Amino acid sequence: MIIDSEIVGDPRPSRDGSVRVTVRYTLEDGRQVVRSMKVPKNGIVEDRINSFKSKIEARVIESDANSAVNNGLEIADSQAAPRKRVALAYLRRALAVGNPLTAYIMFEKFQAYKLQNGWNNSQVIDALQDAGLNRGEWNKMKARYQYLKTEENVATMQAYKALLDGDTWGRKNR
């Protein structure tokens, strides 16, 4: 994913003997990430630059997955983020979001993705474990979705959505 890294400017020595460098990492899709890092007194700058690559790649994948959720995209590959990471981002956001309607919609998107892959609930943990899902987190997600999915909660959320869609008391009628 990272195809190039280069030091930007001159390394700056610190009082403690370490060196601070700014590095520009270039991704396959042309995006660039700039990071400043401290290299210990007896450290090799290139080793430190290479050790940061995996951290930066992980952050870029996480950022791309969250961006897909923010934009309301379907669960699919999104820039550097593979489909499973986007799916996990939807689940994590649905668990964390306060608005029950928004959470329900996100869980429903994941449900469609789950059915598309032919998974049942017990297969989700195995399928998304490599993306970072753990059993405790999955159990919390299932519990919230099952609570939101009850008949009376769905009816309440649909009525709430109808009010929002109609915007009878919102900005449009003021």
Residue 5 maps to a domain: yes
Angle at 95 between CA 160 and CA 166, to 5 degrees: 15
Alpha-helical segments (H) within the chain: 45-70, 83-96, 100-116, 121-128, 135-148, 151-166
Residues 100 and 134 in one domain: yes
Portion of the chain with pLDDT greater than 90, in percent: 26
Q: Which amino acid is at 108?
A: E
Taking residue 80's Cβ as centre, other Cβ atoms within 10 Å add up to 20
Portion of the chain with pLDDT greater than 70, in percent: 95
Contacts of 154 (CB under 8 A, 6+ apart): 104, 148
Cα 118 off chain centre by: 23
Residues 79 and 128 in one domain: yes
Residue 57 maps to a domain: no
- The residue with tokens 């029950």 is 100
15: phi then psi, degrees, rounded to nearest 5: -65, -30
Q: Round the average pLDDT of the chain to a whole number and report it.
A: 86
CA dihedral 111, 112, 118, 122 (to 10 degrees): -10
* pLDDT tens string 114-169: 999 899 888 898 889 988 999 999 999 999 888 888 888 888 887 877 777 775 55
Residue 140 maps to a domain: yes
Residue 58 maps to a domain: no
Mean local confidence (pLDDT), 43-57: 87
Residues 104 and 160 in one domain: yes
Whether pTM exceeds 0.85: no
Residues 102 and 142 in one domain: yes
Residues 27 and 85 in one domain: no
Q: Which domain holds residue 19?
A: 1-41
- Sign, CA dihedral 85-89-90-91, equals positive
Residue 87 maps to a domain: yes
Q: In the prediction, which pLDDT does 168 show?
A: 56
| pLDDT at 91 > cutoff 90 | yes
Q: In the prediction, which pLDDT does 156 show?
A: 85
Mean local confidence (pLDDT), 10-14: 88
For 100, half-sphere exposure in the C-beta direction (CA atoms, 13 angstrom radius) is 17
* pLDDT tens string 19-36: 899 999 999 889 999 999
Residue 56 maps to a domain: no
Residues 149 and 103 in one domain: yes
Q: With contact defined as beta carbons under 8 Å apart, do 11 and 21 qualify?
A: yes
Q: In the prediction, which pLDDT does 122 show?
A: 84
What is the domain count for the chain? 2
